[in-house]
Amino acid sequence: MPQQQLVIAGGNGFLGQELARYFRQLGYRVVVLGRGASAGPDYQRWDGRTLGPWAAALEGADALINLAGRTVDCRYTAANKHEIMASRTESTRVLGAAVAACTVPPRVWLNSSTATIYADTPGDQPANTEAAGIIGEGFSVEVAQAWEAAFAACPAPATRKVALRTAIVLGRDGGAFPVMARLARRGLGSPHGNGRQWMSWLHITDFCRAVEFLLMKPDAAGAFNLCAPQPVPNHTFMALLSHELRPWLRLPQPQWLLEIGAFVLRTETELILKSRKVYPQRLLELGFAFEFPTCETAVRDLLSPS
Ligand SMILES: NC(=O)c1ccc[n+]([C@@H]2O[C@H](COP(=O)([O-])OP(=O)(O)OC[C@H]3O[C@@H](n4cnc5c(N)ncnc54)[C@H](OP(=O)(O)O)[C@@H]3O)[C@@H](O)[C@H]2O)c1
């Protein structure tokens, strides 16, 4: 059987590197599209906006995964907002043009989106499912909607398309978890604000497994929530971190202090204060089994010596 080929656009970041490692171990040839200088035959340089020689990598590929997007961990200045939006919509559009130009297009295209597309969901309101979830408002939601709309607008009749509404992915080597663990060790392991906001999350292993699952399921198409089935309130998550790390100090983190901290660190409090309560209904209905369904098992695993 010929080697399966997977193309990951924006594959140099946290999720891309984890996926590339995971699929290479499964025997796939993984080609990464990135903006940096060429780094070997399995790397194609692109600018995320215009067609170029990189597009040949999609010809006959089994799957395309697009993760390109400027990090949202920044101040929402006009320039940053523009880049956050354009890096997602333009990369999606140009990939659509590249797929349309293929003689044999990729069998399946997974395009990143975000679980932040749903409205702030406080208290005991039901978690957002794909079918009944409430779409929110504000800048991050507008980005998510424009991203999914750009994806939906790409004509790709021979390619199965899946939008990944991914929650906060917890891993060892990137993303939010190492930062939160480091801060907790230094005394910032108390709840953020009142700690009642929900946190939807996903262990990195289950992220990779869910991507593999969606690639393999011929009837999986449309939007999928990629999150563990048990969201937790922020205070529960922070208590778990503190329980495992046992810091000698736990300073309070009221909202006003977080606002000052976010300004100094050039980021936004929305990343930790928005109440994200999402449920992976479609993944579960298709039979996906989580290796880390509870936050306890995920946090314990990520903090254990690897
Ligand atoms: N990590 C999470 O918890 C999480 C949760 C939900 C959704 N997501 C989404 O999943 C995607 C990947 O997340 P990640 O954590 O791996 O992010 P990341 O580490 O910041 O990686 C994002 C990648 O996007 C590329 N990129 C940045 N600006 C770009 C631009 N202007 N044009 C084209 N490419 C650009 C970068 O590639 P080069 O610099 O090599 O070109 C980078 O490797 C992002 O779109 C993110 O919004 C992530």
Q: What is the mean pLDDT of residues 202-227?
A: 98
Under the banding of pLDDT at 50, 70 and 90, the label for residue 135 is: very high
**Distance of alpha carbon 31 from the chain centroid:** 19
**Ligand 1 atom 33 nearest Cα:** 48
Q: What is the mean pLDDT of residues 107-133?
A: 97
pLDDT at 38 > cutoff 90: no
The predicted pLDDT at position 41 comes to 86
Closest to 54 in 3D by CA, of 112, 11, 1: 11
Q: Give me ligand 1 centre to Cα 36, in Å.
A: 14
DSSP string, 247-264: -S----B-HHHHHHHHHH
The predicted pLDDT at position 104 comes to 98
The predicted pLDDT at position 264 comes to 87
Q: Which residues contact 221 (CB under 8 A, 6 or more apart)?
A: 160, 161, 162
Top mutation candidate among 166, 179, 203, 274 for ligand 1, by most atoms within 8 Å of CB? 166
Query: Is 34 touching ligand 1 by the criterion CB < 6 Å?
Result: yes
Per-residue pLDDT of 229-242, as tens digits, reads 999 999 999 999 99
Q: Give me ligand 1 centre to Cα 113, in Å.
A: 11
Query: Is 12 touching ligand 1 by the criterion CB < 6 Å?
Result: yes
pLDDT at 93 > cutoff 90: yes
Q: Which atom of ligand 1 is nearest to the CA of 86?
A: 31
pLDDT at 152 > cutoff 90: yes
The predicted pLDDT at position 211 comes to 98
pLDDT at 1 > cutoff 80: no
Query: Is 14 touching ligand 1 by the criterion CB < 6 Å?
Result: yes
Top mutation candidate among 112, 211, 272 for ligand 1, by most atoms within 8 Å of CB? 112
pLDDT at 39 > cutoff 80: no
pLDDT at 15 > cutoff 90: yes
Under the banding of pLDDT at 50, 70 and 90, the label for residue 306 is: confident
pLDDT at 33 > cutoff 90: yes
Structural domain tally of the chain?
A: 1
SS3 (DSSP) at 222: strand
pLDDT at 4 > cutoff 90: yes
Per-residue pLDDT of 57-84, as tens digits, reads 999 999 999 999 999 999 999 999 999 9
Q: Looking at this protein, which amino acid is placed at residue 146?
A: A
Query: Is 143 touching ligand 1 by the criterion CB < 6 Å?
Result: no
Query: Is 89 touching ligand 1 by the criterion CB < 6 Å?
Result: no
Q: Give me ligand 1 centre to Cα 68, in Å.
A: 5
Per-residue pLDDT of 245-259, as tens digits, reads 999 888 989 999 999
Domain span at residue 155?
5-303
CATH number at residue 204: 3.40.50.720
Contact 251, 173 (CB under 8 A): no
Q: Which atom of ligand 1 is nearest to the CA of 88?
A: 45
Q: Do the bridges between strand 5-9 and strand 160-166 make them parallel or antiparallel, or are there none, so unpaired?
A: unpaired
The predicted pLDDT at position 159 comes to 98
For residue 73, give Cα distances in angstroms to 140, 176, 262.
Answer: 12, 10, 10
The predicted pLDDT at position 176 comes to 95
SS3 (DSSP) at 153: coil
Under the banding of pLDDT at 50, 70 and 90, the label for residue 35 is: very high
The predicted pLDDT at position 233 comes to 98
Q: Give me ligand 1 centre to Cα 92, in Å.
A: 12
Question: What rounded mean pLDDT belongs to the chain?
Answer: 96
